[in-house]
Amino acid sequence: METAFFSIMRFLPVFAFLLINYLSYMALVRWIPFFRPVKRRIVYWLIAFISLLPLIYSILTGFQDTQPGLRIAYYPAFAWNIAQFIFLISLPLVFILHRYGGSEKNKEQLVRAAGQKKDGQALPIEDKSADEESVSKVHLPEKISRRRMIEGALTAVPFVALTVATQGTLVGDNRVITRTFPVTIPGLSPELDGLRVLQISDVHLGTFFPLNRWEEAVEMIAKEKPDIVTITGDYVDDLPLLRPALAMADQIPTTYGSFYCLGNHEHYRGLREVRAAFDDSSVVNLENTSMTIADGQLCMVGVDYPFIRQADSRAIVRQQMLNQALQDAPEGVPRILLTHHPDFFNEARTAGVELTLAGHTHGGQVGIGSRSLFPWAMQYMRGWYGDDQSKLFVNSGLGHWLPFRLACPSEIVTFVLRRPS
């Protein structure tokens, strides 16, 4: 049974998409002449309202419904709405082109007026006609004016936005990469040198990551030959999928097992059911606790999502959770912290935790190179942070709840632990 908070939150995308479409429509009509005819405006709103139908259907029938037909309907719907958002972001460019195009139009009008005045003082009509009859005419293609080029560029902006949105939705959403990093761990025993720790995060089992995609991911994970598998939160959005998915995860061959920490979406969807499913699985749920493995040579630590409690700050909650998780961790043993929220690294670094694995951000789902396009959104957004003594890796996630990725693909990451040289 979903929480009241989630029941309210699920309606927000409908209003957000309506607002985005309205603002985009106003900008299109005001600054791009191509969209001013009534028929085109009607077509715009027809597509806009159709794009909301899959989301409205999900709300009426149960959010995160995994019907295949609904998934197919969602992709073009999201492509349209994301395109409107991209167009809104590009409005400064549209405004500049519009102003520049207006100035070019004024110049053309002045030149035309000057030409007409000059023609009026030219040859008499009879002499002009004689000249025209005696000269052979060569018809050249009409020269494209600078103003027409600017108008064409203006008209192209929303269509380019739609192309980018379609690529990010249909192609970026289905791309998964595997990456491997060597990681130096201070104090690592010789026996564990070369240990392979695999991380996945933010699977979001549900509409956009159904069981068949999870089955494919499990096959990819098995090919990486992990000694340890870690899942750093937001594993499930559609609770009926959790137990079948865990049954598949139980089949992944590992040396020391699989470990998991809670994310915020598990709290939204039903924490009791999530805990019960993991209790019946071989995947260990590390909820503000720790566990030693490999004959006590490595310590796995996990923390819950740091929701603010009453008057406490998030930093205080993080510190309390980490203290609880580390209270039974043995001294002098390297520790790997699993956390959904990457800000736990602030406390983990102070505590001397050697390696922290996190998710939550999805890498922003839009990137430039190996970094997020929105590095200011959170303190730790994507990739590596820290130093030789204490490191953090923020995973871009395997799934998502918004089907759009651009230069920030879903990822399965393996860390090969190494002793200091």
CA distance 55 to 11: 9
Tokens of 203: 């699977």
Bridge partners of 285, per DSSP, are 260
- Cα angle 402, 406, 82 (rounded to 5 degrees) comes to 50
Cβ count near 169 (within 10 Å): 25
Cβ count near 360 (within 10 Å): 25
Mean model confidence pLDDT for the chain: 88
Lowest mean pLDDT among 9-23, 49-63, 395-409: 49-63
Determine how β-strand 335-338 pairs with β-strand 383-386.
unpaired
Lowest mean pLDDT among 55-69, 300-314, 405-419: 55-69
CA distance 157 to 359: 34
Tell me: the pLDDT tens digits for 271-302? Answer: 999 999 999 999 999 999 999 999 999 999 99
Domains and CATH numbers, the chain: 1-174 (no CATH), 176-418 (3.60.21.10)
How would residue 235 be classed by pLDDT, with cut points 50, 70 and 90? Answer: very high
Is 50 exceeded by the pLDDT of residue 3? yes
Closest residue by Cα to residue 47 from 93, 83, 95: 83
Q: What does each C-alpha distance from 140 to 137, 144, 149 come to in angstroms?
A: 9, 12, 19
pLDDT at 105: 53
Share of the chain above pLDDT 90, in %: 67
How would residue 204 be classed by pLDDT, with cut points 50, 70 and 90? Answer: very high
CA distance 283 to 198: 14
